[in-house]
A and B are shown apart, each in its own frame.
Chain A
Amino acid sequence: AQSVTQLDSQVPVFEEAPVELRCNYSSSVSVYLFWYVQYPNQGLQLLLKYLSGSTLVKGINGFEAEFNKSQTSFHLRKPSVHISDTAEYFCAVTTNAGKSTFGDGTTLTVKP
């Protein structure tokens, strides 16, 4: 079985500041890692994913994440946030069998 822990339920930050949203996972098998974003009144959409290769992956809107196998982490970062980044962010792990397990989400609030 897999589990995902998003360590911060809410992250308030000022505009143009850097941000890190933390995600840890556990799994007895190899997994693939994803971050999804949900803007208000919209469906979840993919931000970025790690399948293999370079452990640093870049996604849309200037976000990036680093896969750390020894620490079983996949933290999401952005060097300078905008008001429009205010949203709910979900970390997820997926096995070869296709089922995805999600964390409980982190609400990022960017203040002017």
Chain B
Amino acid sequence: GAGVSQTPSNKVTEKGKYVELRCDPISGHTALYWYRQSLGQGPEFLIYFQGTGAADDSGLPNDRFFAVRPEGSVSTLKIQRTERGDSAVYLCASSSTGEAGELFFGEGSRLTVL
């Protein structure tokens, strides 16, 4: 498809389990972003990739969160030892340049930790 694709759209897991969330950006977009959105709040920045490298990972809340983008296209957000507080919608966005450019968002992956 032409837009940003995120899978799974919904994920229910148990506390302590490992989770992977995938993002397939718009073809040719060099910048990729992960955000987290809790109920009643705006998107909260997690990490930003320019190409294969993480240009800014200052938003990752702790070392249980990790993200990769090995070939500069698809990205995976990995969450270890999930906690109930990790429950949120995880949003991926891509941009053609990464510099004050428009963000194109996917529909998000809703994570529920029981």
Residues on A lying within 8 angstroms of B by beta carbon are: 4, 6, 9, 32, 34, 36, 41-46, 49, 51, 90, 92, 94-105
Contacts and interface: CB of A to CB of B under 8 A. Distances in A.
Given A97-B56, A98-B50, A104 B40 contact: yes
B103 to A, nearest CB: 6
Given A43-B105, A43-B108, A46-B103, A98 B42 contact: no
B84 to A, nearest CB: 22
Nearest to B49: A98
Contacts of B3: 43
A32 B105 CA distance: 18
For the complex of A and B, the 10 pairs showing the least CB-CB separation, nearest first, are A102-B42, A43-B105, A32-B100, A44-B105, A98-B98, A43-B107, A104-B42, A102-B43, A46-B102, A104-B41
B36 to A, nearest CB: 11
Contact of A98 (B31, B43, B44, B59): B31
Contact of B41 (A42, A45, A105): A105
Interface residues of B, number: 30
Given A49-B102, A51-B100, A99-B45, A43 B55 contact: no
B81 to A, nearest CB: 26
Contacts of B93: 44
25 contacts: A4-B42, A32-B100, A34-B102, A36-B103, A36-B105, A43-B4, A43-B107, A44-B43, A44-B91, A44-B105, A46-B102, A51-B100, A92-B42, A96-B99, A97-B56, A98-B50, A98-B55, A98-B56, A98-B98, A98-B100, A99-B56, A102-B42, A104-B40, A104-B42, A105-B40
B90 interface: no
